[in-house]
Amino acid sequence: MTATTIEFTVNGVSQQVTVPDDELLLDVLRRRLGYTSVREGCGVGACGACTVLVDGKSTSTCLALAVRADGADITTAEGLPPGDPVIGSFVEAGALQCGYCIPGFVMMATELLSENPRPTPEDISEHLEGNICRCGTYLEIRAAILAAARRKAVTEA
Amino acid sequence: MRKEKRVTDVPEPAPGGAEGASGAEGAGGAAGAVGQRWTRADAEAKVRGTFRYTADEPVGRVCYVGLQRASRPHARIVTVDTEAARAVPGVAAVLTGADLYRALGDRLLCGPAFGDQPALAYDKVRYAGEPVAAVLAWDLATARAAADEVYVEYEDLEPIHDVDEAAAGGPFVHAELRPSAVFGDLAHLSGRRETNVNYEYNLRKGDVDAETAGAATTVRGEFWSPPTHHVPIELPCTTAWPAGDRLEVLSATQTPSYVRQAVAELLDLRLNQVRVRSRPLGGSFGSKMYDRFEPLVAALAWLLRMPVRMEATREDAFLVTTRHGVAVTGHMSADADGNIVAAAADVRYDTGAYADIGPRIAAKSGMVACGPYRMAAARVRSRCVYTNKPSAGPYRGFGVPQVTFSHETLVDELARARGEDPAAYRRSHLLREGDTAAMGTVMHSADFVGCLDAATAAIGWDTPLRREEGPWRWGRGVAVGMKAVLTPTVSNAVLQLNQDATATLLISTVDMGQGSDTIMAQLAAEVLCLGPGQVRVVAADTDVTPYDTITAGSRSTYHTGNAVRLAAERMRDRLVFLGAERLGVTATDCKLTAEGVTSSSEQRSIGLPELIHGHFGARGTTLTTEASYTTQWVPYDHETGQSPRVTEHWFAGAVAVELGVDTRTGRIRMRHVALAADVGRAINPTMVEQQLIGSAIMGTGQALFDYIVFAEGQMINGTLLDYQLPSIKDLPDKITPIIIESPHRTGPFGAKGVGETVLIPFAPAVANAVREAVGVRITSLPLTPERVLAAIRENANGGTAA
């Protein structure tokens, strides 16, 4: 197995790592760099718990090879700024139970609101279809995203 | 305690949301803590992903485990060739089941009800996927890859897959029964041979055959609830390392106290040589309890004197435990006036290759298998049966959802056969306060009627329904559920009040999303007049937090909650005594308020920081109190299942559903589900509502599509590519959670648990609504489009649906 040295930024911090070509982005972010919000739930891209934004696009890191992230700008839930409307709305709406899947939903919501600042409940369901919350917090999550959209609109106005 | 019954109909969720079911209005001490919607402990850290779950705790350098698993369901192990695996660069050790058995002997056989499960198979394998050898490497990928280099030679044995064939005879999964020491009443089964039935529970009341023969109406059914899986999103993770003459274990478990006991017995250590820590879990639903990966990892770490870590994949997690597939044959009879004169259930739990807690499930579910109704005669035979499948264990509801599917179908059909409304018929015959249930226990604080009425009213049961719209047929259904809380059990709490009037609560209850860290804080805060954030709960650590039976079976709010309440009351009494001393008045003149200890006669107060500072003469000091809460039962009679006190309390709930069936495709669309649960008293209404709504969403999967498929003993859909779980697009159009408060006389502030209450009757409510909508009775779950469509077509052809 060959190894490659790659450079990318995570939450604004540049990183350089040398990885085997088959190492997953999930393992680089979680095991090497300590981003605990990035979680393996299924290993097959079916639950969304490992979701991060790679150049603004939601990515299942359990299916992404780290070498492909060379030069990328990666955002994890830890990297959202203080006062981030999505984080704040999730907390205020009580949009969590065990909390394990929630950072993945937060990243999907962040992507959605950057593409569609005024999503309908149906838009939210379409966008979040690939994320599983086994505690069943979907209603609160949807309410939180609607609230975050309102909050963002006020802040940006 | 309040005596009145209260029905709290929460604000209806706005379209596309549930604003009413959330909210963050924390209240200060003056407003009281119980009944307030405090936000969860650690909410922002969990949302942001910085909260540390078990796998995130720093543990230093560890050796990872890779498992070689059995490729067949039933076979004798002839040889295990580990040479190639040992030769893989980076491999530190390879151990087989035989190696562990040589070192530990019969202590290797673990399990909560039966000591029948080795951490690694050593003589034969009993299910496809059973671990046979463990490969340890300092790198996870190496450990997993090298595990494939272990070669096992098997001599195939005839497997047994079907629960009824297994109940009837051989081949036998185990040579003899080995009940564990945990439950004394299983001892008589020890050494029994030539059987796959490891436990049989019997309930006898009256003469069922005579009553049935004389009945005016009898309905019968054969029911099947398939095996399913919990699938919490957090995967199992267990790490253990020797520390001198001690073993440290860090594991994602709901049962740290049990694991300490089990690991100590496994390794022949004293209890204080084993430390078990857990962290709040990323969900569990029964999957992370009793013996999972802990015996294996503890044995490897102790024998090899190395730090060892098992990080499960989703495929590993599917194989470690499942929910029982259950077959029920039942009937129910009424006399000419409609009184239920007899009910019977023959229940077969497919527990797979290892009993786990299956025998307990067979008994606890068997005792309610005839339903929450007044009846003259009842008969239940509930058996727990070995087959060559992965072991089945506890899963939200503890076997009761499967028998509820049977009794709630039968009572529905009985009402229909009599031409009565299914809700009204249930209302006439449900157990009420003071009634004696079929197993001989008098009912208290189980408001089935209140739940039934609230749930049906919420969906407009008595309002007109447009039954046909194009290919769609619409109908409404209802079901009621009944479950006994685990009894007897033990909970303890240690409360430290810090000098600055904050408190630290030491309990072994594990928060896994149900919100126990917040609930327990609210209970202590209520007694001590503290506010949000002033009481913190310490994560379970058997070196620090006291014994607690388990965090399961919806028992924590009542049991641990009572221990917390008692510890807080002792603290309050102590503060009042100290305050009276300082104020120079009698203790009876004083009470604890948000201002501190207040004298009524002198209209003076002393704040807690000043009081505790003065008492010790130092800052940062702590006052400590502790309390224990234990419950007792009268064990049921072995022949009749009868007990005057079979449980500490009951869970009562009802689900009502309005749905449509697309007659072209068999697809079901749920337009409205209402869930009513008698919780005694809602300590935190938001968290109660989340349990109700969460149950509806999990129940949607169990009712409509969620099941494990086995073919010749192989689990063929044990990945999340193949195993379907409810997503945000599977939600019912509208979900109404309803809190019924019928205070329990000994609950903390009247409270009981709620984690399972409305999951129990969910699937039968859906099936009953389908019956109403399209006139077919389906008695096998889940109600997939294929199954519904086949039943509709069979019905149209004049056949009988099944």
Q: Does B281 touch chain A (CB under 8 A)?
A: yes
Residue B333 · residue B343 · CB < 8 Å: yes
Average pLDDT in the B316-323 region? 98
Residue B227 · residue B386 · CB < 8 Å: no
Q: Scanning every residue of chain B, which has its alpha carbon at the shortest distance from the alpha carbon of A52?
A: B49
What is the phi/psi pair of residue B351, to 5°? -95, 0
* Least Cα separation, residue A60 to chain B (angstroms): 14
Per-residue pLDDT at B799: 62
- Does A97 lie in the same domain as A72? no
Residue that is last in its domain, among A79, A95, A115: A79
Per-residue pLDDT at A67: 97
Q: pLDDT band at B305, cuts 50/70/90?
A: very high
| Separate counts of helices (H) and strands (E) for chain A | 5, 5
Report strand pairing: B6-9 vs B735-741. antiparallel
Question: Which residues on A lie below 8 Å from B285 (Cβ)?
Answer: 134
* Least Cα separation, residue B42 to chain A (angstroms): 9
Taking CA atoms, B582 is separated from B405, B499, B587, B688, in Å, by 62, 16, 10, 41
Contact B233 A120 (CB under 8 A): no
Contact A97 B24 (CB under 8 A): no
- Does A90 lie in the same domain as A47? no
CA pair distance A87, B51, nearest whole angstrom = 14
CB pairs under 8 A between A and B: 198
B787 HSE (CA, 13 A, CB side)? 16
pLDDT of B7 > 90? The answer is no
Tell me the pLDDT tens digit for each residue of B96-128.
Answer: 999 999 999 999 999 999 999 999 999 999 999
Q: pLDDT band at B187, cuts 50/70/90?
A: confident
Question: Which residues on B lie below 8 Å from A136 (Cβ)?
Answer: 690, 693-698, 726
Instruction: Answer whether 0.90 is exceeded by the pTM.
Output: yes
In a mutagenesis test of the B interface, which of A11, A78, A135 is the best target, namely the one with the most B β-carbons within 10 Å? Answer: A135
Tell me the pLDDT tens digit for each residue of B485-535.
Answer: 999 999 999 999 999 999 999 999 999 999 999 999 999 999 999 999 999
Residue B229 · residue B278 · CB < 8 Å: no
Report strand pairing: B650-662 vs B668-678. antiparallel
Per-residue pLDDT at B3: 39
Q: Scanning every residue of chain B, which has its alpha carbon at the shortest distance from the alpha carbon of A95?
A: B22
Per-residue pLDDT at B22: 32
- Does A122 lie in the same domain as A68? no
- Does A58 lie in the same domain as A99? no
Contact B40 A96 (CB under 8 A): yes
- Name, in order, each residue with C-beta under 8 angstroms of B552's C-beta and a sequence gap of 6 or more: B254, B255, B286, B289, B394, B486
CA pair distance B611, B758, nearest whole angstrom = 46
Tell me the pLDDT tens digit for each residue of B366-409.
Answer: 999 999 999 999 999 999 999 999 999 999 999 999 999 999 99
Residue that is last in its domain, among A59, A79, A99: A79
Q: Which residue's entry shows tokens 């290759």? A: B353
* Least Cα separation, residue A156 to chain B (angstroms): 22
- Does A69 lie in the same domain as A10? yes
- Does A96 lie in the same domain as A44? no
Domains and CATH numbers, chain B: 23-53+487-630 (3.30.365.10), 62-157 (3.90.1170.50), 322-486+636-796 (3.30.365.10)
- Does A130 lie in the same domain as A90? yes
Q: pLDDT band at B5, cuts 50/70/90?
A: very low
Amino acid letter at B291? D
Q: Does B323 touch chain A (CB under 8 A)?
A: no
Contact B43 A129 (CB under 8 A): no
CA pair distance B148, B719, nearest whole angstrom = 19
- Does A106 lie in the same domain as A65? no
Q: Does B512 touch chain A (CB under 8 A)?
A: yes
- From the candidates B294, B648, B658, B756, give the one annotated as an active-site residue: B756
- Name, in order, each residue with C-beta under 8 angstroms of A115's C-beta and a sequence gap of 6 or more: none
pLDDT of B17 > 50? The answer is no
Query: What is the average pLDDT score of chain B?
Result: 95
CA pair distance B551, B560, nearest whole angstrom = 9
Q: Which of residues 443-502 of B touch A (CB under 8 A)?
A: none
Residue B65 · residue B316 · CB < 8 Å: no
Burial class from Cβ neighbours inside 10 Å (0-12, 13-18, 19+) for residue B352 reads: buried
CA pair distance B619, B621, nearest whole angstrom = 6
- Does A150 lie in the same domain as A136? yes
Taking CA atoms, B58 is separated from A34, A37, B239, B646, in Å, by 10, 15, 11, 44
Residue A51 · residue A133 · CB < 8 Å: no
- Name, in order, each residue with C-beta under 8 angstroms of B463's C-beta and a sequence gap of 6 or more: none
* Tens-level pLDDT at each residue, chain A (157 residues): 799 999 999 999 999 999 999 999 999 999 999 999 999 999 999 999 999 999 999 999 999 999 999 999 999 999 999 999 999 999 999 999 999 999 999 999 999 999 999 999 999 999 999 999 999 999 999 999 999 999 988 888 7
What residue numbers bound the domain in which A151 lies?
Answer: 85-156
Residue B476 · residue B636 · CB < 8 Å: no
Span of B14-18, B71-75, B502-506, B599-603 with lowest mean pLDDT: B14-18
The CATH number that applies at residue A45 is 3.10.20.30
Contact A41 B234 (CB under 8 A): yes
Residue B351 · residue B385 · CB < 8 Å: yes
Taking CA atoms, B487 is separated from B98, B364, B483, B553, B558, in Å, by 38, 10, 12, 10, 12
Contact A77 B280 (CB under 8 A): no
Residue B756 a catalytic site member = yes
Exposure string over B704-740, b if 16+ CB within 10 A, otherwise e: bbbbbebeebebebbbbeebbbbbbebbbebbbbbbb
Question: Which sign, positive or negative, has the C-alpha torsion B738, B744, B750, B753?
Answer: negative
pLDDT of B43 > 80? The answer is yes
Question: Which residues on B lie below 8 Å from A121 (Cβ)?
Answer: 15-17
Q: Scanning every residue of chain A, which has its alpha carbon at the shortest distance from the alpha carbon of B38?
A: A94
Q: Does B23 touch chain A (CB under 8 A)?
A: yes
Tell me the pLDDT tens digit for each residue of B330-363.
Answer: 999 999 999 999 999 999 999 999 999 999 999 9
Tell me the pLDDT tens digit for each residue of B747-765.
Answer: 999 999 999 999 999 999 9
Q: Which of residues 184-213 of B touch A (CB under 8 A)?
A: none
- Does A151 lie in the same domain as A92? yes
* Least Cα separation, residue B535 to chain A (angstroms): 19
pLDDT of B6 > 60? The answer is no
Q: pLDDT band at B248, cuts 50/70/90?
A: very high
Q: Does B569 touch chain A (CB under 8 A)?
A: no
Q: Which residue's entry shows tokens 């049961």? A: B461
Q: Which of residues 362-421 of B touch A (CB under 8 A)?
A: none
List the single residue in A92, A97, A103 with the smallest CB-CB distance to B49: A103
Residue that is last in its domain, among A56, A79, A102: A79
**Neighbour count for residue B184 (Cβ, 10 Å):** 9
Contact A47 B13 (CB under 8 A): no
Q: How far is CA B757 from the centre of its chain?
A: 10
- Name, in order, each residue with C-beta under 8 angstroms of B251's C-beta and a sequence gap of 6 or more: B54, B237, B238, B239, B240, B259, B276, B277, B278, B292, B293, B294, B297
Per-residue pLDDT at B21: 33
Q: What is the CA radius of gyration of chain A?
A: 16
Q: Provide the number of structural domains found in chain A.
A: 2
In a mutagenesis test of the A interface, which of B10, B44, B47 is the best target, namely the one with the most A β-carbons within 10 Å? Answer: B47
CA pair distance B105, A154, nearest whole angstrom = 68
Q: Residue B702: which of B231, B126, B315, B249 has the closest Cα?
A: B231
* Least Cα separation, residue A111 to chain B (angstroms): 15
**Neighbour count for residue B360 (Cβ, 10 Å):** 24
Q: How far is CA A100 from the centre of its chain?
A: 12
Taking CA atoms, B632 is separated from B352, B507, B559, B586, B648, in Å, by 31, 21, 12, 37, 7
Biggest CA pair distance of chain A: 52
In degrees to the nearest 10, what's the CA dihedral of B745, B747, B752, B753? Answer: -160
pLDDT of B15 > 70? The answer is no
**Neighbour count for residue B316 (Cβ, 10 Å):** 19
- Name, in order, each residue with C-beta under 8 angstroms of B486's C-beta and a sequence gap of 6 or more: B364, B398, B549, B550, B552, B553, B555, B647
- Does A92 lie in the same domain as A45? no
Q: Does B90 touch chain A (CB under 8 A)?
A: no
Amino acid letter at B303? L
Token digits for B427? 């209302």
CA pair distance B623, B248, nearest whole angstrom = 29
- Does A101 lie in the same domain as A72? no
List the single residue in B512, B686, B726 with the smallest CB-CB distance to A98: B512
Token digits for A105? 């939903």
Tell me the pLDDT tens digit for each residue of B198-213.
Answer: 999 999 999 999 999 9
Per-residue pLDDT at B20: 34
Report strand pairing: B490-498 vs B503-506. antiparallel
Residue A107 · residue A53 · CB < 8 Å: yes
Average pLDDT in the B651-679 region? 98
- Predicted interface score ipTM higher than 0.90: yes
